[in-house]
């Protein structure tokens, strides 16, 4: 009797739109494209080596997330950073992320739990080299995992609208008040609490992380700006 064949699950390839989106999101959130920068669609096609349609679709997604403005007949402008809105964003993020962390701890698949463990390890590997860009890349991966592991499409859509803005704010002000070791460990603990299936620990990890981010925000901007 022949042995049953082992079926290997093939990961779907990313669409060109997603490839374009991820490249542009990193350029914006790591400030290689600074706030106020005006770009053209044609220049981005040349820079990324990706066709016009995927670039256009990626730009539409970035506009929905508040990272760019599409100006008819003028081009694409990277949005400014608003400190007061950052606190409002964190207020919403806390509640959304607690929901997603709790449901992720309960609903994540075995494969997703392994991914959470993997990204926690990868994040901690950025500490010794003070690799802020490397941390940002792993943070993006973790955000995607958290948004999907709860298997709630409405929460996934909602949190996707604010993640890029939050990431860019942290990167812009990292030299002023960021503690990469602490920040990384808070993220890693969140990832591991979801991986081990502990919803209460996951919620507590979100609160610890958001407490840090709120303190960080208040420490890096003029208090007068926060009161406007």
Q: pLDDT for 62-82, tens place per residue?
A: 999 999 999 988 899 999 998
Q: Are residues 187 and 206 in the same domain?
A: yes
Residue 225 lies in a domain: no
Residues spanned by the domain of 28: 16-78
- Cα 142 to Cα 66, 139, 205, 220: the distances in Å are 20, 5, 14, 24
End-to-end CA distance of the chain: 76
> Pick from 78, 108, 129: which residue ends a domain?
78
Helix or strand or coil: residue 17?
helix
Residue 2 pLDDT level (bands cut at 50, 70, 90): very low
Number of domains in the chain: 2
Residue 57 lies in a domain: yes
The dihedral region occupied by 70, where left means phi > 0, alpha psi between -120 and 50, and beta the remainder, is beta
Mean pLDDT, rounded, for 5-26: 77
Q: According to the model, what pLDDT value does residue 220 have?
A: 84
Q: pLDDT tens digits, residue range 114-158?
A: 999 999 999 999 998 889 999 999 999 999 999 999 999 999 999
Answer whether residue 122 is part of any domain: yes
Q: For residue 6, count other CB atoms closer than 10 A to its CB.
A: 5
Does residue 25 sit in the same domain as residue 108? no
Hunting for tokens 């709630």 — which residue is that? Answer: 152
**Domain match, 165 and 209 both:** yes
In this structure, the answer to whether residues 26 and 127 fall within a common structural domain is no
28 and 98 fall within a common domain:
no
Alpha helix locations (H) across the chain? 16-29, 41-48, 52-64, 83-107, 110-124, 132-149, 153-160, 163-177, 180-195, 199-220, 223-226
61 and 88 together in one domain: no
Task: Report the distance separating Cα 19 and Cα 49, nearest Å.
Answer: 11
Are 212 and 125 found together in one domain?
yes
Residue 66: give its domain's CATH number.
1.10.10.10
Last residue of a domain, one of 50, 78, 106: 78
Question: 189 in a domain, yes or no?
Answer: yes
Any domain includes 188: yes
Domain match, 96 and 201 both: yes
What is the pLDDT at residue 11? 52
Q: Does the residue 26 lie in any domain?
A: yes
- pLDDT by residue (tens digit) across 37-63? 999 999 999 999 999 999 999 999 999
Q: Give the global pTM.
A: 0.90
68-71 and 75-78 beta bridge pairing: antiparallel
Q: What would the DSSP string read from start to end of 23-88?
A: HHHHHHHTTSS-TT-EE-HHHHHHHHT--HHHHHHHHHHHHHTTSEEEETTTEEEEPP--HHHHHH
- Structural domain includes residue 7: no
Q: Is 201 domain-assigned?
A: yes
How many CB atoms are located within 10 Å of the residue 110 CB?
A: 7
CATH, residue 201: 1.20.120.530
Q: Which of 43, 59, 78 is the last residue of a domain?
A: 78
Q: Are residues 71 and 121 in the same domain?
A: no
The verdict on 40 and 73 lying in the same domain is yes
Q: Within this chain, do residues 166 and 101 fall inside the same structural domain, yes or no?
A: yes
DSSP code of residue 145:
H
Question: Does residue 163 share a domain with residue 91?
Answer: yes
**Cα–Cα distance, 40 to 77 (Å, whole number):** 9
């Amino acid at each position: 009797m022949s042995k049953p064949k082992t079926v290997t699950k093939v990961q779907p390839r990313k669409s060109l739109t997603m490839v374009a989106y991820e490249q542009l999101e990193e350029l914006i959130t790591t400030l290689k494209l600074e706030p106020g920068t005006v770009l053209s669609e044609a220049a981005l096609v040349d820079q990324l080596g990706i066709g016009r349609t995927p670039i256009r679709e990626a730009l539409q997604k970035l506009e929905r997330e508040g990272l760019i403005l599409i100006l008819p007949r003028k081009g694409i402008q990277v949005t400014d950073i608003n400190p007061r809105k950052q606190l409002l964003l964190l207020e919403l993020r806390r509640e959304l992320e607690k929901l997603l962390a709790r449901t992720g701890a309960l609903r994540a698949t075995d494969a997703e739990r392994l991914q959470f463990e993997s990204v926690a390890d990868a994040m901690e590997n950025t500490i010794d080299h003070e690799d802020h860009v490397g941390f940002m890349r792993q943070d993006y991966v973790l955000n995607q995992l958290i948004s999907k592991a709860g298997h709630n499409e409405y929460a996934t859509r909602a949190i996707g609208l604010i993640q890029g803005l939050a990431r860019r704010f942290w990167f812009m002000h990292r030299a002023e008040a960021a503690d990469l070791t602490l920040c990384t460990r808070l993220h890693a603990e969140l990832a591991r609490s979801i991986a081990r299936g502990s919803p209460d620990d996951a919620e507590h990890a979100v609160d610890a992380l958001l407490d840090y981010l709120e303190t960080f925000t208040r420490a890096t901007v003029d208090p007068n700006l926060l009161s406007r």
